[in-house]
Amino acid sequence: MASAVIPQVKDVDIDASGVFKYILIKLSSAASDGKLVDKLIVRGYAECPFHADINDQVTSDLQKLKSSKVIQDWRTKVLGGGRIQHDPEDKKILVYGYSQGYGKADHQLTVDILKTAYPDYSITYSDEGY
């Protein structure tokens, strides 16, 4: 599900199951009226061994959208990271840990964003663990 702000970019893009690293990102882009708008997005992929690899993937994806003129200029700022444990069978997501490179994301914000994409899930967080 995408919010009304920069709707071409999904609010959440995470792996369908498993335990993997994630980052919370502030995305800024120019709206059609030229004003800068911001939104927070969550990205997490098991194929990325480091939080920075997730950021590289997001950068590549956004650059493709810009090249195809789907979005205009954009910039991102990683607000922190951690891990996600995604159990689709039980419809549960646990957000926890931190990123050595980016620091700990605000897990409550992450949970709030995840709930928009997974409204029928039990989504919690813990400030424990790596």
Q: Is the pTM of this model over 0.85?
A: yes
Please give the pLDDT value at position 58. Answer: 97
Backbone angles phi, psi at 41, to 5 degrees: -130, 150
- Tell me which amino acid residue 123 is: I
Query: Residue 21, annotated ligand binder?
Result: yes
pLDDT digit string, tens, across residues 59-86 = 999 999 989 988 878 999 999 999 999 9
pLDDT digit string, tens, across residues 2-48 = 566 688 899 999 999 999 999 999 999 887 777 889 999 999 999 99
d(C-alpha 83, C-alpha 66), whole Å: 29
86 catalytic residue (yes or no):
no
Output the six-digit token pair for 53: 């690899």
Q: Domain 12-126, what fold?
A: Pyruvoyl-Dependent Histidine Decarboxylase; Chain B (3.50.20)
d(C-alpha 38, C-alpha 82), whole Å: 22
d(C-alpha 20, C-alpha 86), whole Å: 8
Please give the pLDDT value at position 96. Answer: 98
Complete DSSP assignment for the chain: ---SSSTTS-SEEE-SSEEEEEEEEEEEEE-TTS-EEEEEEEEE-TT-SSHHHHHHHHHHHHHHHHHTTSS-SEEEEEEEEEEEEEETTTTEEEEE--BTTTBB--HHHHHHHHHHH-TTSEEEEES---
Please give the pLDDT value at position 1. Answer: 46
pLDDT digit string, tens, across residues 80-120 = 999 999 999 999 999 999 999 999 999 999 999 999 999 99
Q: Which of 29, 39, 45, 51 is catalytic?
A: 51
d(C-alpha 54, C-alpha 32), whole Å: 28
Please give the pLDDT value at position 73. Answer: 84
Question: What is the pLDDT of the chain when averaged over all its residues?
Answer: 93
